[in-house]
Structure 1
Amino acid sequence: MAPALKRSYQFVVDNFLKLLLIPTALAISNKYEEIMHLCNSMHFTSLHLLCASFLIIYALTLLLVSRPRPVYLVDYALFKPPRSYRVSFAGFMEHARMGRLFSEPKSVHFMMKILERSGLGEETCLPPALHYIPPTLTMAMAREEAELVIFSAMDSLFSKTGIKPKQIDILVLNCSLFSPTPSLTASVINKYKIRSNIKSFNLSGMGCSAGLISVDLARDLLQRHHNSYAVVISTEILTPNSYLGKERAMLLPNCLFRMGAAAVLLSNRSSDRRRAKYRLSHVVRTHKGADDKSYGCVSQEEDDEGNVGIKLNIDLMAVAGEALKSNITAIGPLVLPASEQLLFALSLIGRKLFNPKWKAYVPDFKEAFEHFCIHAGGRAVIDELQKNLRLTNEQVEASRMTLHRFGNTSSSSLWYELSYIESKGRMKKGDRVWQIAFGSGFKCNSAVWKCNRTIKPPAEGAWADCIDKYPVHIPEVVKL
């Protein structure tokens, strides 16, 4: 469809109801005297008017009480690793060669090839336990990493928002692979002496899309509890989950996952409407776990030598593609303009009635969103979504640069991407943001936010010292 013709089509379809008002208004104006005569002939009494007023007031009250409470994102904070935790390519490979657990030459060569094509930069960070030779994968070191990333993000959140720990009503924390006792939520409550009637939840085993699951849970709780604050913490603890074997499908996460954490403050208080950055519009969750292939494509298991790691099956991208299709089919009617929905519906009808081989119409989500935050799970994930959703390089820039600067930080990566967009000064009032993430199980989850106010680039934060360097060119292969 030619651009000019498509714009005309979009204008007519998207504004159909408004355009329909013109002939309707003309018809009413022509029949004005007849309508007034009809009203006068009905002889309404005071009782009729009183009953009508009561019904109108009752209906409006019921509507106001039953409608969902708005959920605002007041602000969020990110963990920024110290430079001493930086792991360059050369340092990573040197540790792999020197460590007795990675001494298998084929394994070292395989990890080098993955790093060369990973899209990661030289500034990504690993926790202290993984800097030792051999790595110190103890419970104590894992706890130390968890407290470092979570408490740092929380301290920054309290500083940015001005709220006190005792003001928190709901606490949701997600960490997939590290689930100690007492729980990580308990450690947060203990650290900040949060009051005893806090509603706390600790989510584990839910993969990289768990951050949006946490947002969805917090939203549901905020619908029930009026005038409340909810804090969502998303992280992944790497110390106990580094794979020390030789299985190639399990070595890949070693090359991609890096330190990260995000703490997000949500509110349903009307007093926060003006200061909040965003308003939550939609959360759409798709779970494909009923399918055996989807269920087993990402799993934590032991190899033949008893080493535990995360195994990524070869059909991961195909499974992710199917989950994405299901998710966008669900979210499309909620966000797409009528013109795109009509084209999509006609495409489906044509495939059903005429020719199943017709190419399905992919809705233009650029008409629904100004910004895209695609989970920085790896270069292949970003490439595939850019292709399927027909996005420009600028629209996936936040995801690629987050992968380059911070690596795959699991469920917190979406917030590093959002911070990148803000740090570039691109977030304007009224802009719509689509966050989309994938997780084991297999899941594809989406969240849609609407910007409440134009956001100035922050003076401090995870990107403050390097945002001027980005975007950078990321070659297909970095020779090590």
Structure 2
Amino acid sequence: MAVIIVQASRLSLNDIHQTWLHLEHNLVYVVVLSAFGLVGSTVYFITRKRSVYLVDYACYLPPSKLKVEHDRFMKHCKLMGCFDETSLVFLDKILGRSGLGEETCAPEAMHCLPPKPSMEAARQETEQVMFGALDTLFANTNVKPKDVGILVVNCSLFNPTPSLSSMIINKYKMRGNIKSFNLGGMGCSASVISVDLAKDMLQVHRNNYAIVVSTENITQNWYFGNNKAMLLPNCLFRIGGAAVLLSNKSVDRRRSKYKLLHVVRTHCGADNKAFNCVRQEQDDIGKTGVSLSKDLMTIAVANKLINAKIKPYIPDFKLAFEHFCIHAGGRAVIDELKKNLHLLPVHVEASRMTLHRFGNTSSSSIWYELAYMEVKGRMRKGDRVWQIAFGSGFKCNSAVWLALKNVKPSCNSPWEGCIHRYPVQLSL
């Protein structure tokens, strides 16, 4: 201040006036630039893409009383009296080649003779699976149901009223302003779709938890006819479900297992052959079932879309991902993906073992596979895992997760008590 006063005493009034105007002019610029900076920073922090963390997840483990060994499965099918001899031979052949083990489970209604595929039995199966997975998830994470602001449920073939999401809200007395969604008819890749929807919701609703519940219902979707294309699901699909807790809270990063990096969804429904390759319909005598086209795997890997004379370029995906969770849709699905993606046996081990132990659990299979890798101690900090799933429509959806730490298995993992037997040797 003293220096300024001395300098000012040497200036004329005109000089002082010019200096003041100069400072005033610069001050306007400073204020304007500061305002723009403040507004820009505010807009950035409001609109920036928020990280989505996978805090934890839980897979449903069916009780041992629901196991269906191969011999028991075939004996039961014969006693039903609805399958002809040709169909029984076909079922036995497919089951032997399916890659399913002796411990997969079917719903209680299908253990009855005759089976009881009632609406009430279907509700009981779904409640048993969803609530079983959610009870484990809430216990492992110490998150209260009322803390959850977003709920996404997917189940392709069973969509009662009230919806499955409403059943969960009623069971756990969730808050009234929860954003709930119920996805139906979206096939085995619907869990990735649900994650994508939850991710988008978490970009809008700050400081929030989202739960994704993925399951399928067997009770009302067993096929009692003799169309071979519709008999395949009887051999492959089994009970299963998963509940996943996602968060956009920065404080949850430390305790979360993974961070979501990418979700890619591809829909081929504009093509008629792709659209019809997995279809729920009635056969010639009015029996309802899900038909799996013989072109299913061709469509899944798109061989016919490529000129046979031109060898397609296949990137080395092993350089981008340390782990692969390929939907356990069936042995042929896993074999074809392993071949086309140039993967090693270890990369499809989790998929094969999940199919062997739990069968095709539809959209939840990719979570049983992730749990397998964790129990085996293979998920290290910085590892990237690629979940790939296919579904009716026809859709191919995938998600990429980054391990935030050396991931340990959660309590009550579905592999507890049996992981010491895996991997098992499968016959070719």
TM-score higher than 0.5: yes
Offset of 1:132 from its aligned partner?
A: 1.0
Aligned to 1:380: 332
Does the alignment pair 1:243 with 2:223? yes
Counting aligned pairs with the same residue, the percent is 60
**1:215 equivalenced with 2:195 (yes/no):** yes
Other-structure match for 2:94: 114
Alignment correspondent of 1:416: 368
| Contact 1:78–1:416, Cα closer than 8 Å, also in 2 | yes
Residue equivalent to 1:11: none
What is the rounded CA distance, in whole Å, between the counterparts of 2:272 and 2:167 in structure 1? 36
Do structure 1's residue 433 and structure 2's residue 413 form an aligned pair? no
* 2:78 corresponds to which of 76, 86, 97: 97
Residue-by-residue CA offset, 1:253-312 (whole Å, 9 max, x unaligned)? 000000001000011111111101111111110000011111011100000111000001
1:152-301 equivalences in 2 (<5 Å): 152-301=132-281
CA distance in 2, matches of 1:306, 1:465: 43
CA distance in 1, matches of 2:334, 2:382: 26
The residue that corresponds to 2:16 in the other structure is: none
Equivalent residues of 1:323, 1:443 under 8 A apart: no
Gaps of 5+ in 2: 1-25
Q: Which amino acid aligns with 1:468?
A: H
| Cα distance per residue 1:137-181 (max 9 Å; x no partner) | 100100110110011111001100001111110111000000111
Distance in 2 between residues matched to 1:423 and 1:99, nearest whole Å: 39
Task: Encode CA deviations 1:203-228: one digit per residue, 9 max, x unaligned.
Answer: 00000001111001111111100011
Asked if structure 2 preserves the Cα contact closer than 8 Å seen for 1:278 and 1:452, the reply is yes
* Cα distance, 1:456 vs structure 2: 2.1
Query: Structure 1 residue 97: deviation in Å?
Result: 1.1
Give yes or no for contact 2:136–2:412 (8 Å, CA) kept in 1.
no
- Residues 286 and 323 of structure 1 are in contact (CA less than 8 Å); yes or no, is this contact kept in structure 2? no
**Which runs of 5 or more structure 1 residues have no equivalent in the other structure?**
1-44, 327-350
Return the letter of the residue paired with 2:59: L
Rg comparison, structure with higher value: 2
Shift of 1:60: 4.9
Do the aligned partners of 2:140 and 2:410 also contact (CA within 8 Å) in 1?
A: no
Distance 1:324 1:224 in 2: 41
CA distance, structure 2, for counterparts of residue 324 and residue 92 of structure 1? 36
Which residue of structure 2 lines up, in the alignment, with residue 79 of structure 1? 60
TM-superposed CA distance for 1:64, in Å, is 3.5
2:299 pairs, out of 319, 329, 332, with: 319
- 1:319 Cα shift? 1.0
Q: Distance in 1 between matches of 2:64 and 2:318?
A: 37
Deviates more, 1:65-74 or 1:284-293: 65-74
Q: What's the secondary structure of 2:100's corresponding residue?
A: coil
Cα deviation, 1:340-374, whole Å, max 9, x if unaligned, reads: xxxxxxxxxxx9xxxx9442221011111111000
Provide closer, same or farther for how the CA distance between residues 247 and 228 of structure 1 changes in structure 2, counting only shifts above 3 A: same
Distance 2:420 2:221 in 1: 34
CA deviation profile, 1:29-88 (whole Å, cap 9, x unmatched): xxxxxxxxxxxxxxxx88877776766665555444322111111000110000000000
User: How far is 1:322 from its partner?
Assistant: 2.3
Is 1:67–2:48 an aligned residue pair? Answer: yes
Tell me which amino acid in the other structure corresponds to 2:66.
Answer: Y
Alignment-derived partner of residue 331 in structure 1: none
* CA RMSD, Structure 1 to Structure 2 (Å): 2.0
CA-CA distance at 1:453 after TM superposition: 1.2
Q: Deviations over 1:371-414 (max 9, x none)?
A: 10000000000011101111100011000000000000000000
Does the alignment pair 1:402 with 2:358? no
Return the alpha-carbon distance in structure 1 between the equivalents of residues 65 and 299 of structure 2.
38
Size of the aligned set, in residue pairs, is 403
What per-residue deviation string (whole Å, max 9, x for no partner) do you get for residues 415-457 of structure 1?
A: 0000000000011111101001000000000101101111124
What TM-score, normalized to structure 1?
Answer: 0.81
SS in 2 for 1:473: coil
Question: Equivalents in 2 of 1:172, 1:155: separation in Å?
Answer: 16
Q: What is the TM-score of this pair, normalised by structure 2? A: 0.90
Residues 431 and 236 (structure 1 numbering): CA distance in 2 closer, same or farther, change over 3 Å? same
Determine the C-alpha separation between the residues in 2 that align with 1:222 and 1:74.
14
Distance 2:302 2:35 in 1: 51
1:143 aligns with 2:123: yes
Aligned position for 2:400: 448
Shift of 1:243: 0.2
Distance across 2 between alignment mates of 1:433 and 1:214: 18
Verify the 8 A CA contact 2:157 2:221 in the aligned structure 1.
yes
Residue in 2 aligned with 1:37? none
**Partners of 1:122 and 1:405 within 8 A in 2:** yes
CA 1:324–1:444 in structure 2 vs 1: closer, same or farther (change >3 Å)? Answer: farther
Instruction: Give the equivalent residue in structure 2 for 1:88.
Output: 69
Query: For 1:224-261, what per-residue CA distance to the aligned partner results, in whole angstroms no more than 9, with x for missing partners?
Result: 00011111000001000000000000000000000001
Given the superposition, is the C-alpha separation of residues 428 and 394 from structure 1 closer, same or farther in structure 2, using an over 3 Å criterion? same
d(CA) in 2 for partners of 1:106 and 1:358? 41
Distance 1:292 1:237 in 2: 27
Look up the equivalent residue of 1:91 and give its one-letter code. R
Amino acid at match of 2:85: P
Whole-angstrom distance in 2 between the partners of 1:441 and 1:464: 35
Q: Structure 2 matches for 1:322-401, cutoff 5 A?
A: 322=302, 357-401=309-353
Q: Return the alpha-carbon distance in structure 2 between the equivalents of residues 166 and 49 of structure 1.
A: 47
